[in-house]
Chains A and B, each alone.
Chain A
Amino acid sequence: MDLLGGVVEFLATGTNWVGEAGIVTRTLDHVGLTLLSVAVACAVAIPPGLYLGHTGRGGTFAVSVVNIGRAVPSFAIVALALPFTIRLGLGLGFWPTFIALVALAAPPIFTNTFTGVREVDADLTEAAVGMGLSGREVLFRVELPLASPAILTAVRVSAVQVVATATLGALVAWGGLGRYIIDGFSQRDSVELFVGALLVALLSVLTDAGFGVVQRRLAPKGPRPAG
């Protein structure tokens, strides 16, 4: 069968776009779970990263987190989340996928927050203290703004990772765009497989580009002449 023709026909068929198993619903599910997971990962990872970076404790811990995080395959994280949620009575589908995605996204965000704060020039923080800023003010008005590019980079990398790994959610009975790929494999349906691959790849590239735009918008403008 002509693959390209099949793909075009699939995409041109209106019924493939609507309904519970349609492209629109699955894309929205995929995007929604990505945003939720990244937001929760930020909420979990940024506060301790800021605190430890500010106090200067936990450097070794931060390094180990990123190394271990890199060595554990994301596929294994999704798989390991399943027995975990089943033991907790949360079952299949949303919960194992969500927990795996948060576990995947949080370590890089934590590490970059920590190193971002840690690498702020000591002269600057001392000057801030000399100007009478409290520890809290130094953190939120000096260290956090200066660390924000590093934090945003990690959020971007994590978001792309989460879009990719959410695809594996279909293996633990969650929806999203991964359904097309996993169903395509099990039904040996090349068209569905290819459509799924196309949509997931497109969403990843768009996520990366989208966060790239946000990053550039929020980036400090660099040194400007005073006055």
Chain B
Amino acid sequence: MSEGPIVDWGWVGGHLDDVWERTVEHAVLTGLAVGIGFAISVALCLLIHRHRRAYGPVTWTAGVLYTIPSLALFAALVPFTGLSLLTAEIGLVSYTLLILIRNIMAGLDGVPEATKEAARGMGFTDRRILWEVEVPLALPLIVAGLRIATVTTVGLVTVTSLIGQGGYGFFILQGLRRFFTTEIVLGTVLSVALAATIDVALVRMERALTPWSRRRVVP
């Protein structure tokens, strides 16, 4: 570690199979966490949408979960759920909740009252107002929440290498244990690249889902 080039390209070239395997693992860990986290957040937001009083307790709980350091949360779960995918996912999912709930609610609350009134005047039921007016208008903030949650999760997945999961975090941990800089740099660069790739994909998805927002950009 104290001399020689920072990255040993020969080593990287000889471990492309490992890189692919860890890429899949990292993407699956991230996708599961954000997917499950999103489903839970949507359910909780629908509850808050109906019963406003639930907002305080729900965000408070999500906030406490968010404040607990990831390593501490994983460590506290290991005696119960072991060094498993389940342990990793419980931790990862709980970190997405605060970000997603805050953004979904901010999006729904940002819909102007006049717009909802207009829909009601056109004979829309509350249910149709929610799904056909409020949700589409809230999409930019919902996607913004998904982007932050995904980038955060990609980073946190590396920590799960300590409980035998980890995706690219495996390289970082191995590099630390063997004092091998190449693996640390490789794990970091791949993790940042994966976060950036998913972020770009989410931006594209948002553009596809909100075609009306493009109309303003007429030259």
Contacts and interface: CB of A to CB of B under 8 A. Distances in A.
Nearest to A189: B79
Contacts of A205: 64, 67-68
A87 B1 CA distance: 7
A73 interface: yes
Among A75, A76, A80, A182: residue with most chain B CB under 10 A: A75
B7 to A, nearest CB: 11
Contacts, number: 124
Interface string A131-175: 000000000000000000000000000001001110110011000
27 contacts: A71-B151, A71-B196, A72-B192, A73-B169, A75-B155, A75-B161, A76-B155, A76-B172, A79-B175, A80-B184, A80-B188, A82-B179, A83-B6, A83-B181, A83-B184, A86-B2, A87-B2, A164-B71, A165-B69, A181-B71, A181-B75, A185-B163, A193-B76, A194-B79, A196-B75, A201-B72, A205-B67
Contacts of B175: 79
A201 B162 CA distance: 18
A75 B170 CA distance: 11
B67 A74 contact: no
Contact of B78 (A70, A83, A190): A190
A33 B1 CA distance: 26
Nearest to B159: A75
Interface of A: 3, 68, 70-76, 79-80, 82-83, 86-87, 160, 163-165, 167-168, 171-172, 178, 181-182, 184-185, 190, 193-194, 196-198, 200-201, 204-205, 208
A82 B176 contact: yes
A160 B159 contact: no
Contact of A83 (B1, B79, B156): B1
B1 A167 contact: no
B188 A72 contact: yes
Interface string B145-172: 0001001101110110111000001001
B67 A208 contact: yes
Given A79-B187, A83-B179, A185-B78, 8 more contacts: A71-B151, A73-B156, A75-B159, A75-B161, A87-B1, A168-B71, A197-B71, A201-B72
Given A75-B155, A76-B184, A172 B71 contact: no
Contacts of B195: 71
B87 to A, nearest CB: 12
B41 interface: no
Contact of A74 (B2, B68, B155, B196): B155
Contact of B73 (A76, A83, A197): A197
A140 to B, nearest CB: 33
B176 A171 contact: yes
Given A73-B158, A79-B176, A160-B67, A197 B72 contact: yes
B191 interface: yes
